[in-house]
Structure 1
Amino acid sequence: MTTLAVILLLLAGALALAFVGVPLIVWTVALAALVAVGAATGVLGSVATAAAVVLLGPPALVLNVPALRRQLLSARLLTIFRRVLPPVSQTEREALEAGDTWWETDLFRGRPDWQRLLETRVTELSAEERSFIDNEVETLCAMLDEDRIVREDRDLSPAAWDYLRRERFFSLIIPRRYGGREFSSLAQSTVVAKISTRSLSAAVTVMVPNSLGPGELLLKYGTEAQKDYWLPRLADGREIPCFALTGPDVGSDAGSMPDYGVVCRGEHEGREVLGIRLNFSKRYITLAPVATVLGLAFRLHDPDHLLGERADIGITCALIPADHPGVRIGQRHFPMGLAFMNGPIEGEDVFIPLDWIIGGQTMAGRGWRMLVECLSVGRAISLPALGTAASKVAYRMTGAYARIRRQFKLPIGRFEGVQEAMARIGGGTYTLEAARVLTASAGDLGVRPSVVSAIAKYHMTERMRGIVNDAMDVHAGRAVIFGPRNYLGYAYQAVPVGITVEGANILTRSLMIYGQGAIRCHPYVFDEMEAARADDVAAFDRLLFSHLGYTVNRGVRAFLLGLTGARLARSPADGELAGYYRQLERMSAALAFVSDVAMARLGGDLKRRERLSARLGDVLSQLYLASAVLKYHHDGGRDEAELPYVRWALEQALFEIQRAFEGFFENFPGRFAGGALRWLVFPLGRPYRAPADRLGSEVARSMMTAGAARDRISADMYLGDGPEDAIGRMEATFALLERVEPVYERFLKAAARGELDGHTFEARLESARAQGVLGAEEAALVAEYEALRREAIATDVFEPSTLSPAGAGEAPRRADVA
């Protein structure tokens, strides 16, 4: 029994040291002290003590003397490591080095500093930004009619285009010294989001010049002469920009573009200059049909070595006037469900001078680095704004519609099947708004978060897809009939646009999130790779043994947090949400350990095992989204009315994390290894469940109730200009229902009991007034509400001639489509 107690005591001590994460020297001292105490107390006899010294002394000496360790261990391990090190192309390397890591690093490394997150100041809109959103953006929204834009005109109205130019909507990112508005990242996101709640076509039109495009590239990389000439013209709308990156054979793999330029001499403005002869074919280029200046990405070659020793200089970006000789521009694509300007650009033997390279000749060949750094803007700001906006419309309108629309003598929002969908809409929209605010604020903190932007792009557009689908299901026939009354249909049709642009979602999930996160967020892996490539044994030795200590610490933390239900984890807050902080830290530690095991076991193959790495990326993503929810709730004053949304979102995130881990363990090479990892991460079984039905019902009821929570979640949404507008009509009906509902219910119950005369609503209402069931004012209020309700749930109808080609505008000819 004494021996067992000693063994258990030793095990507990070892686990405690590993859980805390003490340095190697502390382990060595503790082990030496243990042997000494054992010898002094007689627990270890002289033979056992001598054996312990002989067996443990040399390894301890080697491990604690760096020179010996490097010579006897690290040099050999470096040779093995270099042999299994995955090849990294120049474009992959530039992508890895581009941008910054941020809060996702804490989540990946297993010990998130919650207090640091809560103390991070998200952006507060300035008075100027607030005024622009409440006035100019509101005015623009009132000018837009998405049904007419998409179904009839297939373009914004001339008045809307003029207003966009005049009010400098295309210069949100351009500094004031060039005539731009110089708004914060959050303000840009909010502007795009609010426009999106009215017209996705207009939002995309505003979004593109303020994300990846000439303005962004000029600001960061342009020469002073280029900035002085182009930025004022972009700011005041004299120039409309586009950026040509993707082509027939180039989508997400932009690094393999076939478009090329050759350095040569040619004529420009009547004189011979050193320049580039370009040949290119691009497609899917937003604003191309109306652009006056295009940014162009191409691969630059210098076969005659006119610029230097390299023949293949690499991807380069240039700025070219749209009317430059050889450029073919102006045709249109027809995006599904939207009518923003999008089209192809081609060029054959287009000669440009070298100083048209963005940043000048010194930036030749550095275009890929420029692009991957600037792509994070679109991923972190614009697309999350679109996804959140569509979800806000679905959230607010579904809540109102579910209370207004009645079936079987009840509002449809009281049916559990409808509440199930509503819970996903409400909890999902809360998550999206939280992630939008946090992610956009990163840019205002000087961070260009490459991994977070990929998380935001993928998960926020995918979550939007689910939310819009659920809203369509709840609205049923009300949402499938096109026309001015339909506030969901065009968002539903446009979902694939958000899923596709700025990198296809499938590849964003399977290649980018974890592919970048595992290397950029890990404290040692990238530096180990660099040390191996430089054959730097000393650096590799230091990193490797720090890495081993890190792995042991994270594995023990994951196991003990699992055994204790995360009670050993930290929480920055008390109360109902404290347990969620602890559970997220537990899963963060599990991610850190499982990632190390996966990288050690699979090496370079992990990059090719996309489904495995995507599941670990899902864990990291859900940790980020859940932490955004906690941060958003904290910053909002921890309103108790928001708790159903917060709890639903967090429980859903933990459930998704568990499901991602289960998929990873089930498919990890080697049944024993996968089972061992599962046992270590979930030693007491799977602890997380999907949000309970009761919690979902709380979310649904909140969606159908006017109040601060509903307004905060759908903040900065365009609510229409009155009962003649689709959203305004629903808002007016919902607002009146808040006043009339008790009286209206009294009337309906009397009718259901057969107490009222007549077969029509009007006859029964008159009977209710005559019998004293309702007073005269109450009857008038019910009549007013009923008229609004009928209009709110009605769908559009058209004369047949209106839907003919002559009435709706000329349909695209088959040849044009081809």
Structure 2
Amino acid sequence: MSSESLRMRWLTRPIFGWARGALPSMSATEKAAIEAGEVWWDAELFTGNPDWKKLLGTPPARLSDREQAFLDGPVRDLCAIVDDWKVTWEDGDLPPEAWEMMRKQKFFGMIIPQGYGGLDFSSYAQSEVIRMLSTRSITAAVTVMVPNSLGPGELLMMFGTQEQRDHWLPRLADGREIPCFGLTSREAGSDAAAMIDTGVVCRGEFEGKETLGIRLNFRKRYITLSPVATVLGLAFKLHDPDGLLGGDKDRGITVALVPTDLPGVKRGCRHLPGLQFFQNGPIEGEDVFIPLDNVIGGQEQVGKGWPMLMSALAAGRGISLPSLSAAGAAFCARTTGAYARVRTQFGLPVGRFEGVKDRMGRLAGNAYLLDAARRLTCAGIDEGRAPAVVSAIMKAHATYRMRDSVIEAMDVHSGKTVIDGPRNYLGSLWRAIPIGITVEGANILTRNLIIFGQGSIRCHPYLLKEMTALEETDKDKALKDFDKAFWGHVGHATATFFRAWGRSLTGGLLAPAPADAGAVTKYYRQLSRYAACFALTSDMALLTLGGALKRKETISARLGDILSELYLLSAVLKRWQDEGRKDEDLPLVAWCMEEGMATIETSFDQVLANFPSRVTAWFLRLFMPMGRRRGPSDALTQACADILMEPSATRDRLTAGLYLGGEGDSIHALERAFALVVETEPIRRKLRDARIDPADPKAKTLITADETRRLAEAKAAVDEVIEVDDFPADELSGAQPKSAKPQAGKAPARRKTAPRKTAGSTGSSKSKPKSSRATPGSKVAAE
């Protein structure tokens, strides 16, 4: 008898029996969620010994000439015709010409192949489009992102039949059809598997013919574009009580296409998501009959809706909201730096005060980190991956950091962005924060359960193999597969222990780093050290807690925070490499690394302080000696802040791809004031050195007439920037402003009070159309 057979009989078999009893069984829903998408750099980090060559070998995200032309042309043109204040406070919708442009230029078909009439853009191009639009109008950005994220288009391309693709994709690409996707039920919320929306297989009449189909009853809410959608992608639980399809009577979650003009469909009412006026609302259906052919993928995909949704979401969450969040952080950094330079208090630009610099340094660092992670994630997706755990990391931590950035920016702007009006360029971002935090999986759920919970199973080299073996019904095969996976796990854990111990004892000095990493070598080594400690801690948590770990949500969340920081900091190092290892960007890199490493060490400490097994916690503290980093120094934070207040290539790289307004726009005015203040600084310095106030008549003896004129021009530009809006008191009696003071060079914009919303109204007093289909841009909706 071989040694392997002896091991299997005397060691593996009893362990197998114990593990089978200890490990809770996975439901089909849980299994589908765990198996959704792919693993990528997250799996390298989970090994505890990441191969940095793989990271640096990932081709950087790039735009094609065609994609760049789209950004420079149609995207900028769309930004130019959208007035976000008018959309929000007057019309309650994008203007008709914006809807027409989005159709004509195929904004809704960015993910659809050119063969079907779409643009077939890369993930990075989609991200760049959303980035620019979101700095002009959240409403425009969301309207574009949703059809190109989770929805009928993506599901059709991944799972649809050829006939379905041929019919629907061209119509979605050119805007003849406006899609929405109905997932969230009133009762289910984040627990989508608990939806009570149903479909029953039956025979019915469709287009004058008796047809085998499905009778639907559903009530969905929070559905973006539903008030104007012409086709609904619907998730529901399918039942076959008469066995018309054969097999089980309860067929599970299924996804089908439902034209919204079918009898029984009710939509057109709108939600008001935090004073953001993208089209969002409930959609309901009572006894709606569709043919069986409307199931996405046909009868073969009946009951497979949950895996379909999870697979589609795995990539989609990594693009849309992270793009909006990274853009928001960069926008906050650029505007705050400019404002802090032009706004003076006590005779100094406010950005010269250390308290303000503390906020601005964080803004600069967050902007650099988020855009680095956005680019890396898009690069991975464009390689053909759908990294589920990475997408969850990006969705949660990007929206959290956007929230932090908006708060920091408003802190510096103070009263400027407290007062709402056309001049308040941060108000819309502030109102968007709860939306990003909540949608596409609430962040609390994502952070506490998904990032580490899904990551520990999918990314671990052996855990999923062990779990699969324990679920195997063939006992001989199960034992053999478990034996191979378990002892591989033991070997991996042993190697991880010595890595974590050795790298911790030496403070990471001997940990792996790329041979030519240059100035950031020490950071690679620290991440290698933390990755080994994370892998060891994860194994000990899984060993001592087993299936109970998913109920220890705070421990899972903190382990997820460590994994998230490892990914985000990897992206920072990758960005610095891809952008040519520029020395002038090193303060931003160093700030991100110091801040992230402090977060990692704090999270490790919190995990061990709350670990249920105190013996295990003591063991890990002994063999993973770790200090408590304090984060970036004041000098480093101030150096990052200074980047935001001076024109430079670094500042431009940090805030590239934003829409910076047009003539008469508040952002354009800020950019102009910033440029003039910087340009005239030598003149002011000359006067300061002579201790002469610019308003003093003596100033004319020291500076030329042209210099006097330029100083006056700069002062007028600054006065325009620091101005805030006010409104006639009688026009604020309803709660919404109706007219605003004119900005410099602009006539007053008369604003009508938004009417009360009633069922079937989008906020317009115009009459409803006869058709049951709403026309986006007409400011009216059906039903």
Tell me, yes or no, whether TM beats 0.5. yes
1:89 partnered with 2:27 = yes
Q: Distance in 1 between matches of 2:628 and 2:306?
A: 44
Structure 1 pair 489–673 and aligned structure 2 pair: CA distance change class (3 A): same
1:321 partnered with 2:238 = no
Specify the alignment match of 1:565 in structure 2.
507
Greater alpha carbon shift after TM alignment, 356-365 vs 369-378: 369-378
- Among 654, 660, 668, the residue aligned to 1:719: 660
Mapping of 1:422-441 within 5 angstroms? 422-441=360-379
1:131 partnered with 2:69 = yes
- Among 636, 653, 671, the residue aligned to 1:731: 671
1:710 partnered with 2:651 = yes
Q: Distance in 2 between matches of 1:237 and 1:303?
A: 38
Specify the alignment match of 1:628 in structure 2.
571
Greater alpha carbon shift after TM alignment, 803-812 vs 226-235: 803-812
Specify the alignment match of 2:415 in structure 1.
477
Return the structure number with greater relative CO, CA threshold 8 A, min gap 6.
2
Q: Distance in 2 between matches of 1:104 and 1:670?
A: 27
Q: Distance in 1 between matches of 2:618 and 2:594?
A: 25
Instruction: Give the Å deviation of 1:814.
Output: 8.1
SS in 2 for 1:274: strand
Q: Distance in 1 between matches of 2:219 and 2:268?
A: 13
Specify the alignment match of 2:769 in structure 1.
none
Specify the alignment match of 1:646 in structure 2.
589
TM-score (norm 2): 0.93
Instruction: Give the Å deviation of 1:815.
Output: 6.9
- Among 604, 607, 620, the residue aligned to 1:661: 604
- Among 551, 554, 557, the residue aligned to 2:493: 551
Amino acid at match of 1:519: I
Amino acid at match of 1:170: F
1:747 partnered with 2:687 = yes
- Among 676, 699, 724, the residue aligned to 1:768: 699
Instruction: Give the Å deviation of 1:567.
Output: 1.7
Could you tell me whether the CA contact under 8 Å between 1:337 and 1:491 is conserved in 2?
no
Could you tell me whether the CA contact under 8 Å between 2:256 and 2:294 is conserved in 1?
yes
1:686 partnered with 2:652 = no
Instruction: Give the Å deviation of 1:321.
Output: 0.8
- Among 422, 429, 451, the residue aligned to 2:389: 451
Q: Distance in 1 between matches of 2:665 and 2:238?
A: 52
Amino acid at match of 1:127: D
Q: For 1:118-175, what per-residue CA distance to the aligned partner results, in whole angstroms no more than 9, with x for missing partners?
A: 1110221000000000111011111111111111111101111111111110000011
Amino acid at match of 1:322: T
Could you tell me whether the CA contact under 8 Å between 1:234 and 1:241 is conserved in 2?
yes
Specify the alignment match of 1:43 in structure 2.
none
- Among 345, 350, 366, the residue aligned to 1:412: 350
Instruction: Give the Å deviation of 1:96.
Output: 1.1
SS in 2 for 1:207: helix
SS in 1 for 2:319: helix
Q: Distance in 1 between matches of 2:634 and 2:235?
A: 51
1:147 partnered with 2:85 = yes
Mapping of 1:509-658 within 5 angstroms? 509-534=447-472, 535=475, 536-572=478-514, 573-658=516-601
Specify the alignment match of 2:719 in structure 1.
790
SS in 1 for 2:518: coil
Structure 1 pair 748–286 and aligned structure 2 pair: CA distance change class (3 A): farther
Could you tell me whether the CA contact under 8 Å between 2:602 and 2:628 is conserved in 1?
no
Paired residues in the alignment total 742
1:289 partnered with 2:289 = no
Amino acid at match of 2:505: L
Instruction: Give the Å deviation of 1:745.
Output: 3.4
Amino acid at match of 1:735: A
SS in 2 for 1:75: helix
Instruction: Give the Å deviation of 1:720.
Output: 1.1
Q: Distance in 2 between matches of 1:327 and 1:126?
A: 42
Q: Distance in 1 between matches of 2:452 and 2:558?
A: 9
Structure 1 pair 814–319 and aligned structure 2 pair: CA distance change class (3 A): closer
1:202 partnered with 2:143 = no
Could you tell me whether the CA contact under 8 Å between 2:89 and 2:754 is conserved in 1?
no
SS in 2 for 1:218: helix
Amino acid at match of 1:797: D
Instruction: Give the Å deviation of 1:640.
Output: 1.0
Could you tell me whether the CA contact under 8 Å between 1:378 and 1:502 is conserved in 2?
no
Specify the alignment match of 2:742 in structure 1.
none
Larger Cα-atom Rg: 1
Specify the alignment match of 2:708 in structure 1.
779
Q: For 1:662-711, what per-residue CA distance to the aligned partner results, in whole angstroms no more than 9, with x for missing partners?
A: 110000013332122122222xx405221111100000011111111111
Q: For 1:599-633, what per-residue CA distance to the aligned partner results, in whole angstroms no more than 9, with x for missing partners?
A: 00000000111110111000000000000000001
Could you tell me whether the CA contact under 8 Å between 1:197 and 1:392 is conserved in 2?
no
Q: For 1:626-677, what per-residue CA distance to the aligned partner results, in whole angstroms no more than 9, with x for missing partners?
A: 0000000100001111111100001111111111111100000133321221
Could you tell me whether the CA contact under 8 Å between 1:509 and 1:617 is conserved in 2?
yes
Amino acid at match of 1:694: A
SS in 2 for 1:306: coil
Structure 1 pair 798–332 and aligned structure 2 pair: CA distance change class (3 A): same
Instruction: Give the Å deviation of 1:773.
Output: 2.1
Specify the alignment match of 1:698 in structure 2.
639
Could you tell me whether the CA contact under 8 Å between 1:261 and 1:278 is conserved in 2?
yes
Amino acid at match of 1:371: L
1:278 partnered with 2:216 = yes
Specify the alignment match of 2:247 in structure 1.
309
Structure 1 pair 238–644 and aligned structure 2 pair: CA distance change class (3 A): same
Amino acid at match of 1:734: F
TM-score (norm 1): 0.89
Specify the alignment match of 2:330 in structure 1.
392
Could you tell me whether the CA contact under 8 Å between 1:261 and 1:276 is conserved in 2?
yes
SS in 2 for 1:135: helix
Instruction: Give the Å deviation of 1:415.
Output: 0.8
Specify the alignment match of 1:23 in structure 2.
none
Q: For 1:552-572, what per-residue CA distance to the aligned partner results, in whole angstroms no more than 9, with x for missing partners?
A: 111111111011111221111
Amino acid at match of 1:777: D
Specify the alignment match of 1:34 in structure 2.
none
Specify the alignment match of 2:745 in structure 1.
none
- Among 274, 284, 288, the residue aligned to 1:350: 288
Q: For 1:45-90, what per-residue CA distance to the aligned partner results, in whole angstroms no more than 9, with x for missing partners?
A: xxxxxxxxxxxxxxxxx9x810100011101110000011122110
Q: For 1:267-297, what per-residue CA distance to the aligned partner results, in whole angstroms no more than 9, with x for missing partners?
A: 1111211111110000000001111111100
Could you tell me whether the CA contact under 8 Å between 1:251 and 1:503 is conserved in 2?
no
Instruction: Give the Å deviation of 1:424.
Output: 1.1
- Among 154, 158, 163, the residue aligned to 2:101: 163
Root mean square deviation of aligned Cα: 1.6
Mapping of 1:327-406 within 5 angstroms? 327-406=265-344
Mapping of 1:198-277 within 5 angstroms? 198-277=136-215
Amino acid at match of 1:105: A
Q: Distance in 2 between matches of 1:322 and 1:647?
A: 53
Q: For 1:719-748, what per-residue CA distance to the aligned partner results, in whole angstroms no more than 9, with x for missing partners?
A: 1113x1111111111112221112123335
SS in 2 for 1:87: coil
Q: Distance in 1 between matches of 2:45 and 2:731?
A: 56
